Amino acid sequence: MKEKVKVCEVGPRDGLQMAHDIMPTELKSRWIAAMAQAGVTEIEVGSFVPAKLVPQMADTDAIVRSALEQPGLRVMALVPNLRGAQAAYAAGAHGVGVPVSVSEGHSRSNTRKGTAEQVEEVARIVEWVRAQERPMAIEPGCATAFGCAIDGEIALDKVVRTAVALAEAGVDAVALADTVGYGNPAQVRALVRAVRSEIGGKLTKLHLHDTMGLGLANALAGLEEGIRSFDSALAGLGGCPFAPGASGNIVTDDLVFMLESMGFDTGIDLDRLIASRELLHEGVPNEPMFGQVSRAGIPKTYRVQA
């Protein structure tokens, strides 16, 4: 059997939060459904943040409830604090991501808290969720782990300390995030090894951006180090409103092509996934759509691996 790799689509959150247009709720729900029906099993559908700060996310409660209707879909949401986690829980989300920036400058810009304060916020979320009747996964990401547009270089040992603090807070999983896309493959290998040596299997995922054109190369480096879960965005949309210069995520369609061509099993129908780009373009017609596979077409040699 092929080894499985999970591709988590973050376009409805990370992609749309930077869009100039606001995608209508009904169309957003149809787009999410189309990706789920193409075989995407995990989607970060929105974020529970103040609408005045990120108006594109104002309908996240309705989007979570709609996405829950898709059979087999793990519905995730991003939350910055306990209040957001409580809103996600009330809407029925299966899990939440929580940004914990290793960079002090980015942390205060993004959450108005320092790194240690945000770790404490995660601990409060864990305590509250564990007291509820229904489980909800808590999967924070170490943001700006590979560099920051505000603070510059981030020391490896600070990333490790942040990941350890999150693991000790009782979270279900930890991700490493290249929030501004400054990382390189050697850095990915070194950081994955260092963090895993301290928290083991709680390190599960990489969240990568393609600012410097190294997104897929970094994904491959992570793959070679044993990472089997990656965030990506259809058509490469995305960025961070609180990180100057951050560009889009790695392209979901291109990532799926690479993984499946190498013999991994994503469970995603690439033809149907690419077709879902039409709904995305309809919803945000002024956003550039990236992706090599969608431009060139799926080659006849695709999926030749046993």
User: What confidence score (pLDDT) does residue 157 get?
Assistant: 97
Task: Give the residues of the chain that fall short of pLDDT 50.
Answer: none
Query: Across-strand partners of 270?
Result: none
- 148 catalytic? Reply is no
Split into its structural domains, the chain has a count of 1
Residue 303 is assigned to a structural domain of this protein: no
User: What confidence score (pLDDT) does residue 107 get?
Assistant: 77
Strands (E), the chain: 6-9, 42-47, 74-78, 95-97, 99-101, 137-138, 141-143, 174-178, 203-208, 229-232
Residue 2 is assigned to a structural domain of this protein: no
Q: Which residue has the tokens 């180090």?
A: 225
Residue 160 is assigned to a structural domain of this protein: yes
* Nearest residue to 101 (alpha-carbon basis) of 249, 243, 250: 243
Per the structure, the complete domain to which residue 199 belongs is given by 7-296
Provide the CATH number for the domain around residue 148. 3.20.20.70
- With contact defined as beta carbons under 8 Å apart, do 166 and 119 qualify? yes
Residue 95 is assigned to a structural domain of this protein: yes
Cα atoms found within 13 Å of the Cα of residue 139, Cβ hemisphere only: 27
Give residue 181's Cα distance to chain centre: 13
Cα distance between residue 215 and residue 156, in whole Å: 19
User: What confidence score (pLDDT) does residue 143 get?
Assistant: 94
Residue 155 is assigned to a structural domain of this protein: yes
Residue 269 is assigned to a structural domain of this protein: yes
User: What confidence score (pLDDT) does residue 102 get?
Assistant: 95
Burial 219-234 (b: 16+ CB within 10 A, else e): bbbbbebebebbbbbb
Residue 304 is assigned to a structural domain of this protein: no
Residue 116 is assigned to a structural domain of this protein: yes
Per residue in 173-227, pLDDT tens? 999 999 999 999 999 999 999 999 999 999 999 999 999 999 999 999 999 999 9
User: What confidence score (pLDDT) does residue 245 get?
Assistant: 58
Per residue in 244-279, pLDDT tens? 555 689 999 999 999 999 999 999 999 999 999 999
